[in-house]
Structure 1
């Protein structure tokens, strides 16, 4: 295959991997998240967690339990390829609505993922991910109001299989990476 065409295909596959991570995180879809990492991959969330990605995913149900809303938005994607190895600096805006003992708060983080990817058995997956926060804004109490009359009757997203996307889509299925 033409090397330029292969590079485009590889970059597209990695971009889809990054977006699948955001979707799986936002929907609390831990089965799907596991598919995105190689078994020996690592994850570095700073003092929050550093170790094997599968161990981090094991802890996510408890970590995400108070998170009523997670919404990751990828902005800038910088990728560099070298055969079956790639690196990415991925800019992300991540919104969190979190329940606390005092009520709910909004946390908006602007940051980056420092990623290393490996293509094994023809499939790109994360081999290493580090999360960097560049800025954060906290609003307490939460400014989110899904009960406002302008929203009345709208389909509302939520974590987990009750999210409307799971009953709507046939191809974008729970626990599976987009093929």
Structure 2
């Protein structure tokens, strides 16, 4: 794999790490996606990464879950250790029972990220979560019993990773 291909893979992995952290409420993973002095711009929020983590933690408390899907991803390099990453994202949010219709929605967005490699590690220096559209959703109970995602140590991914000491 060429150096640039490895860089692109590492940058995309930062975006995937962020999404996993948000969906599983693992804010240590979310924090790892940013440099210590990272900045975030979301709908309803502008500030540094620590302020963002406090804000997003409170924002997600009233939801039962989220699921982020990563789509198109493109990286433009601006020097050896700086890149602009654009990632298309669809994120579904569902509220707790009785939380009202505004808690249930899918949104289409783009993560426009200024990525920097520092000390050999790619991470977000500044992010713009550009919301393109939002659609209200109606959620129904699953039709059959089976594995369900949770936002704690009982999630199948967490159970499997713990089994192997990860």
Q: TM-score, normalised by structure 2?
A: 0.90
Instruction: Report the counterpart of residue 107 of structure 2 in structure 1.
Output: 109
Following TM superposition, where does structure 1 have runs of at least 4 consecutive aligned residues deviating by more than 3 angstroms?
99-105, 170-173
Q: Quick check: 1:91–1:112 contact (8 Å CA) kept in 2?
A: yes
Q: Which ranges in structure 2 are unaligned for 5 or more consecutive residues?
A: none
Instruction: Report the counterpart of residue 22 of structure 2 in structure 1.
Output: 25
Match of 1:165 among 153, 157, 163: 157
| Shift of residue 145, structure 1, vs aligned partner | 1.5
Give distance in 1, aligned partners of 2:140 and 2:19.
20
Higher relative contact order structure (alpha carbons within 8 Å, sequence separation ≥ 6): 1
CA RMSD of aligned residues (A): 1.9
Q: Counterparts in 2 of 1:53-92, with a 5 A limit? A: 53-81=49-77, 82-92=79-89
Give distance in 1, aligned partners of 2:16 and 2:83.
16
Q: Which ranges in structure 1 are unaligned for 5 or more consecutive residues?
A: 174-179
Q: Quick check: 1:34–1:57 contact (8 Å CA) kept in 2?
A: yes
Count of aligned pairs between the two proteins: 163
